[in-house]
Structure 1
Amino acid sequence: MIGTLCIFTLLSSTAAWGPVGRWREGRVRNETGGGSGDRCTCDAFLPSSTFPIRDLVVVEQTAVEISHKVELEMGKLEDYETKLTAYAERIIQLTVEIEKMEKNPDDYNDAALDGVKVEIKQVEALVKELQLSIASSTIIFQSLHVQITTMVATLDWMEKTYDKNAVLVTRREYIKVQLELEECERRHQELFNPNIGSCAHNGIIRVSKPIVSQLNAHLSSGYKFGGWGKDSKPVPDRESMYWYSGYTSTSIVDIRFYTNYKNLILRNNFQHHNLQSGWTGTGNNYIIRDNTLYYQINSPFGLAKLNFTTMKYESRVIAKASTRFSYTDMPNQNFDFAADETGLWVTYATEESSGRMVIAKINEPSFGVEEEWQTSVYKPGVSNAFMVCGVLYAVRTVDIQTEEIFYKYDTRTKQESHISVLFEKFQDKFSNLDFNPTDQRLYMYNNGYYASYHLWFNHTTQATAQPPLVLTS
């Protein structure tokens, strides 16, 4: 109407996000003011928070950039493989020539010897150059993991805050990129560390930066207790299977299985087992081995195993094991199961040992203790522990971002020693840390997040002379 001023007032709202706000019904009103005519006002509701499209675009752009970098690294790996083959062949040829010279030194003059020495130095220079290239690739992998970790945090926040369907396309792109990076790292590890499953080494010398997959399958930061990983002795057709169990307390009440890594990330489990009454457990240091869950129970206090192929349940009591000693800042972790290249283990503390850790080898068919070893490390001073090739590695907290592998006990030689191999955490608290011999990785359940680490071992004399690499941010 003529002479009427219409004012639209924008009000905040808790409405769901969207491109258009919502109008308040029945709020059109006429007002008569002291001015020149009537005035009507309409109140329009806009959402209190709009969908962060800019953040989503940044994630998508980052995914594309990472994908391109991974493609470049895959190309480099093929080049490395070609060079390694050529260098190995030349070294074999030089070895044969040197052996001939040693057997018949009179048949060769000084010029021939000098020629071989020059070739050896040339091969040494090429190997050093290749080592620098490998180190450069490792740094790039670490950088890519930092970017992916940021993507994980952003996508998890968006899924919890906004419509999950709007994030799904980007989540799939992220999964594709992460799988590409995993494959590139797998080839890198196979090329330069082909000794997976071998115990011909002198121990751990380095731990990678954390590889953060995502928040747990419940998409809840409240599920701080639990574990995840792979079967350490997978049954046929389940070599790529992953498992996860999480809860809001240290109890273990169910477990989920995923056919592969992609389905783990998509939270698409193919089996979900709820532990029956009387089968529930406690603590967070359980593992899956041979499609069997090994875990701690409190009634009676002891060990339990549940075979998911036969659904057969068994339990055992270790009379000397004490309920008083758990890991630092993590209750009810009295028994800690571990698996390595040599079999199944469990660690605990006793009153006789005054809280010092005891290592026990478990006979898998009988579920009995075969042998025990007494260590000098005090369990309440340890944040977690794991086994590799019959050697116990104990871990302690340095600060909110750093853990240290500080102690090892070799059950073959009964020798113990103090070491220092530092590695980073994604979050400050973690409830589960286990080594898997099928891929030589550490799996950590880090304050509700899936995290894992690559390990490097001292396979050569040269590695013995090098100090452990300390990873810093």
Structure 2
Amino acid sequence: MKSSELLVVFLFALFSQCVRGKGCVCKLKNSEKPFPAQKLESIHTDASKCNRSISSGQMLEVDVLTLGVQRRLEQLAESVSALEIEDDGDLYGAVSLRVIELEVAEVLELMLKLNRSLGSHQQLSESTSIKLQSMMEDMQELESFDHLHVVRKQLENQRIRRELAECQHELQTTDQPPTAQPGHCPQGQLVDVSGPRIYTLTQHGTSYAYGAWGKDPKPAPGKENEYWLVALTSSNVFANYVRRYSSLSTLLVGVSPVDTVIASGNPTTNTIQGPNVVMYDDALYYNCYNGPYVCRFNMSDQSISNVQLPPNTGFNSKLNFGHLAAAYGYTDLDLSTDESGVWVVYATPENFGNVILSKVAEGIPPSLNQTWQTSLHKRTVTNTFVACGVLYATRYLDKDQEEIFYSFDTETGKESYDLRISIKKMQTNIQSLNYNPEDRKLYVYSDAYILLYDAVFQ
């Protein structure tokens, strides 16, 4: 006899009352609410619809359209250049103009398709986010029926299996190659910057023009795919939290961010000051509020430590980056990452306002290691970054181009002012720029837009 049948017999024997001369009556009272099977079926249906409505092919469609627009624009530029130098009595000039008209029409058509795709993706991400939140709430309600904690135990077992798998993977992982020393770059010398590969607004829209974003070159276990974003949300100067995303795609569509609060407000002690922020080894490095300090915020335990820079180091917009037309406020300190760790760029009156580069030694609290003085005046520079122990500096050419024009090799002490590596801009100003040695890319924050470039080495 099945267990269910035994249960029925038992309940019948327990609750049945036999009245003499009449049939037996069974009274069974269930104090629990009936299980909402219909709601569970609805959740299964919604989940299946989500799986069918979102596919990698949709993101590929955007990439293809973007690439198509880029190539057509390049062809259009070539056609216009050819037309400008033609001198053929207007005969072939008229033909060339007609060709250009057709190319412009094709570009406009591609742009319309791209805009429609981006619009539909935005609507899809918003509706999907709402559905996911609703399904999570419904599942939490259904868990209340799990009196024997079966589901909870299953989830706990899954977590333990994941941890065991991670532990097994760490035991089998081979040792990483030694960290590259300054001046000895395995991939060679930086010779070009291509892109941008990504150009988009953040979840904040155009509200905050100053900020920084990137990916930790030395991430903590389980955070290998995370990206971080810091927008200066107060007067384009201050921020008191860092926003993290589980992947690049969630950052681009602006879903499921996790905010980690660093300070109680803006501005106050330990507030982020200025846009030049980096993440390294699960810690955020930035210019502390109202002082020549490098703050280190530990993302795991949310502790803060700092290191003071040399006396008379510029802070509070005294020794900024800039160019002939403008200065970039509160850029006295610039933090960078490379294969060997974290670096800080600053200036002092004693060095005539020229750039000083120091290595930030890891530790709690952090400390300054070796320091180099350069002949590069900080006010002529718009940004700096470090790759393989070589300091690179950029300058403003015009609203469409920035140029990497300077390098300083910390191994040899050699300076160079004639690099002439062009960076194609999509907005007028670049507020922050940093190199990530893990993926060899430049992460740029430009007038509220985030951009990603490829660093090309010899």
CA distance in 2, matches of 1:281, 1:339: 18
CA distance in 2, matches of 1:229, 1:424: 19
Matches within 5 A, 1:50-449: 64=61, 66-67=63-64, 154=115, 165=123, 199-218=185-204, 220-248=205-233, 249-277=236-264, 278-318=269-309, 319-323=311-315, 324-328=318-322, 329-365=327-363, 366-418=365-417, 419-449=419-449
Stretch moving more, 413-422 or 199-208: 199-208
Q: 1:385 corresponds to which letter in structure 2? A: T
CA 1:264–1:321 in 2, change beyond 3 Å: closer, same or farther? same
CA distance in 1, matches of 2:338, 2:354: 22
Do the aligned residues in 2 keep the contact of 1:356 with 1:375 (CA within 8 Å)?
yes
Q: 2:215 corresponds to which letter in structure 1? A: K
Question: 1:65 Cα deviation (Å)?
Answer: 7.9
Structure 1, unmatched stretches of 5+, are 1-59, 71-145, 172-195, 459-473
Do the aligned residues in 2 keep the contact of 1:281 with 1:297 (CA within 8 Å)?
yes
List per-residue Cα deviations over 1:363-386 (Å, max 9, x = no partner): 111411111100111111101000
Aligned to 2:249, the other structure's residue is in SS state helix
Question: 1:204 Cα deviation (Å)?
Answer: 1.0
CA distance in 2, matches of 1:217, 1:238: 21
What is the root-mean-square deviation of aligned Cα atoms in Å? 3.3
Greater strand proportion: 1
CA distance in 2, matches of 1:62, 1:293: 31
Q: 2:192 corresponds to which letter in structure 1? A: R
List per-residue Cα deviations over 1:181-210 (Å, max 9, x = no partner): xxxxxxxxxxxxxxx978135421111021
List per-residue Cα deviations over 1:44-91 (Å, max 9, x = no partner): xxxxxxxxxxxxxxxx99964855999xxxxxxxxxxxxxxxxxxxxx
Do the aligned residues in 2 keep the contact of 1:153 with 1:214 (CA within 8 Å)?
no
CA distance in 2, matches of 1:283, 1:66: 33
Identity, % of aligned positions: 29
Instruction: Give the match for residue 83 of structure 2.
Output: none
Do the aligned residues in 1 keep the contact of 2:125 with 2:253 (CA within 8 Å)?
no
- How many positions carry a matched residue from both structures? 295
Instruction: Give the match for residue 451 of structure 1.
Output: 451
List per-residue Cα deviations over 1:275-325 (Å, max 9, x = no partner): 223221211101011111100023333111110111111122212412321
Question: 1:214 Cα deviation (Å)?
Answer: 1.8
CA distance in 1, matches of 2:450, 2:207: 14
Structure 2, unmatched stretches of 5+, are 1-56, 68-106, 130-178
Aligned to 1:345, the other structure's residue is in SS state strand
CA distance in 1, matches of 2:414, 2:214: 30
Do the aligned residues in 2 keep the contact of 1:231 with 1:290 (CA within 8 Å)?
yes
Aligned to 2:349, the other structure's residue is in SS state coil
